[in-house]
Amino acid sequence: MTSVIQQSITPASNIRSDLILQVSGLKTSFFTSEGIVNAVSGIDFDVKRGKVLGLVGESGCGKTVTALSIMRLVPDPPGRVVSGKVTDLLTLTEKQMQSIRGRRISMIFQEPTTSLNPVFTAGNQIMEMLQHHLGMDKRKALERSIELLAQVGIPSPEQRVHEYPHQLSGGMRQRVMIAMAISCHPDLVIADEPTTALDVTIQAQILNLLKRLREELGMAMILISHDLGVIAEVADEVAIMYAGRIVEHTSKEELFENPLHPYTQGLLASLPRFDQTGEAHKRRERLKAISGTVPRLSDLPSGCTFHPRCPIAVEVCQKEEPELLEVSPNHKVRCWLRQ
């Protein structure tokens, strides 16, 4: 246990300060037979030590591609990081990158069922990490795996460590994924929709676990989710993505209290709302939908990509794309009308 922690507090020189990760101008494209699809078109954000950044958006907005770009796991071909910087990860050799993945930055995927290897036991998969990255011997790795399973709340871990993924329930598989992700005590965990495939009571368990581990281990996290409820619970800062761009970025409190981008406002307004007593519950009160549909990335509208769906769009929105600008301290918005 102590050795693991000691190793992680002698960080690589580049991640010394409070900033764990700096993404700037990241652009990732897919070169398909139907043309170039800019899945991520120039995004910037920082991840601070011990903080949780929520990345929110609808399907196809580039959340997952952002995560894969950071990990340098974008399938190539057809995809490629075209430009931008992710600290200095993009300049590392593949070999160097392998010692980052799982060790300094690890990932929790949406589907625990498909992201665990079905022919290895839960223990094998955690042990592999420990043996590869931390050079533990087999006996020690097994011991540590059992500790990790206990830490993520799996009952009778001595027994579960020898079980295969199909013998575990969905919630337990996700716990195994989390155990793997924290096994080398990384500086940053990227959790891509970690609870989307789970039932609501199990989701509550996993969210609690993530919050607890974050406090215990002080790791930073990028939490990718489409669920604003999950974000409200776990994140410190939130970046809202639309069509491959960040359209709003601020603290969680500010975002929910004072959303500025019309898309963020639309997302929040489209949720059914009830006050604590339930008295506001009026049936037949229509939800405020955002009109239209999410644009195809291969065929984006001109100007601001949100303008065809925007209730307050003006002429300039059709012609020129606004930049992500800081309109008040720590509150950035990409909208002509908020500048």
Orientation angle between helical segments 170-182 and 122-134, nearest 10 degrees? 10
- Sole binder of other proteins in the list 14, 169, 298, 302 (CB under 8 A): 169
DSSP state of 294: P
CB of 221 to other proteins, least distance (A): 16
Backbone phi, psi, residue 184, to 5°:
-100, 15
Backbone phi, psi, residue 123, to 5°:
-60, -45
Query: Which of 42, 30, 21 has the alpha carbon at shortest distance from 89?
Result: 21
Q: Which CB atom, from 87 or from 195, has the smaller least distance to other proteins?
A: 195
Assess 283 for contact with other proteins (CB under 8 A): yes
Q: Which CB atom, from 143 or from 227, has the smaller least distance to other proteins?
A: 227
Assess 268 for contact with other proteins (CB under 8 A): yes
- Sole binder of other proteins in the list 98, 205, 217, 316 (CB under 8 A): 205
- The CA-based dihedral angle spanning residues 219, 25, 229, 290, taken in that order and rounded to the nearest 10 degrees: 180
Q: Which CB atom, from 134 or from 294, has the smaller least distance to other proteins?
A: 294
Orientation angle between helical segments 170-182 and 200-217, nearest 10 degrees? 10
245-251 and 237-242 beta bridge pairing: antiparallel
Among the candidate windows 8-16, 73-81, 203-211, 315-323, which touches other proteins by CB under 8 A?
203-211
Contact 237, 249 (CB under 8 A): yes
Q: Which CB atom, from 20 or from 240, has the smaller least distance to other proteins?
A: 240
CB of 207 to other proteins, least distance (A): 7
CB of 57 to other proteins, least distance (A): 9
Among the candidate windows 37-45, 177-185, 193-201, 210-218, which touches other proteins by CB under 8 A?
193-201
C-alpha to C-alpha distance for 244 and 297, rounded to whole angstroms: 8
Q: Please report, as residue ranges, which positions from 104 to 133 form the binding site for other proteins (by CB under 8 A).
A: none
Q: Which residue has the tokens 């950044």?
A: 53
- Sole binder of other proteins in the list 75, 118, 293, 329 (CB under 8 A): 293
Number of residues that bind other proteins (CB under 8 A): 48
Assess 289 for contact with other proteins (CB under 8 A): yes
CB of 76 to other proteins, least distance (A): 27
Output the CA–CA distances (angstroms, integers) from residue 333 to 101, 283, 307, in the order listed: 32, 34, 14
Taking residues 223 to 242 in sequence order and writing x for each that binds other proteins by CB under 8 A, - otherwise, the string is ---xxxxxxxx---------
Give 178's contacts (C-beta < 8 A, 6+ positions apart): 108, 152, 194, 206, 209, 210, 213
Q: Which CB atom, from 208 or from 302, has the smaller least distance to other proteins?
A: 208
Structure tokens belonging to residue 307: 């303008």
Query: Which of 322, 205, 222, 185 has the alpha carbon at shortest distance from 262?
Result: 322
CB of 27 to other proteins, least distance (A): 24
- Sole binder of other proteins in the list 13, 286, 299, 329 (CB under 8 A): 286
Task: Report the interface residues with other proteins, using CB under 8 A.
Answer: 58-59, 155, 169-172, 199-205, 207-208, 226-233, 252-253, 256, 266-268, 270-272, 274, 276-278, 281, 283-284, 286-291, 293-294
